[in-house]
């Protein structure tokens, strides 16, 4: 990897191209570049810095034009777990009638018919994860 190609790749990264796209523009095989980057800490840090510089430039631009929409968009993108668009808390993901029919066909008790939704599944997973962590800590 020569210095000229590396600088060109960095320039393309600052313009918004992906690493693979930048390599293609410089007639460098992306898979070869990944191997070189993995083995050379200087190249890896250079590329990482260019990617961060790209983000930084655009975040500064967004922040210079202060508006409620810009702030909302920025928070949703940077902190989706905290500021992301809220999902309906109880979206039904199981067709209740089809579940009843399946249970009748399988001679299952009707008490097993419980609508499952995404929020319940997430809560159950979090409870299971908490129990697993607590059991490991004991």
Q: Is residue 91 part of a domain?
A: no
Question: 14 and 64: one domain?
Answer: yes
C-beta separation of 13 from 50 below 8 A:
yes
What DSSP state is assigned to residue 27?
T
Question: 12 and 70: one domain?
Answer: yes
Q: Is residue 17 part of a domain?
A: yes
Residue-wise pLDDT for 88-137, tens only, equals 455 555 567 777 777 777 765 554 455 566 777 677 777 777 666 666 66
Number of domains in the chain: 2
Q: Where are the alpha helices (DSSP H) in the chain?
A: 3-15, 19-25, 30-39, 41-64, 68-78, 80-83, 96-105, 118-137
Question: 73 and 101: one domain?
Answer: no
Q: Is residue 89 part of a domain?
A: no
pTM of the model: 0.54
Print the domain residue range for 58: 3-83
Question: 76 and 116: one domain?
Answer: no
Question: 54 and 104: one domain?
Answer: no
**Half-sphere exposure of residue 108: CA atoms within 13 angstroms, side-chain side:** 12
Residue-wise pLDDT for 21-72, tens only, equals 999 999 999 999 999 999 999 999 999 999 999 999 988 888 888 888 888 8
């Amino acid at each position: 990897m020569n210095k000229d190609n590396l600088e060109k790749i960095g320039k393309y990264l600052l313009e918004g191209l992906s690493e693979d796209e930048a390599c293609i523009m410089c007639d460098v095989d992306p898979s070869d570049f990944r191997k070189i980057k993995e083995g050379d800490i200087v190249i890896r840090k250079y590329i990482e810095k260019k990617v961060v510089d790209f983000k930084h430039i655009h975040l500064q631009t967004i922040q210079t034009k202060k508006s409620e929409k810009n702030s909302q968009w920025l928070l949703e993108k940077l902190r989706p777990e905290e500021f992301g668009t809220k999902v309906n808390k109880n979206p039904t993901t199981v067709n209740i009638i089809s579940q009843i029919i399946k249970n009748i066909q399988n001679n299952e008790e009707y008490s097993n018919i419980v609508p499952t939704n995404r929020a319940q599944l997430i809560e159950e997973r979090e409870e299971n994860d908490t129990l697993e962590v607590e059991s490991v800590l004991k």
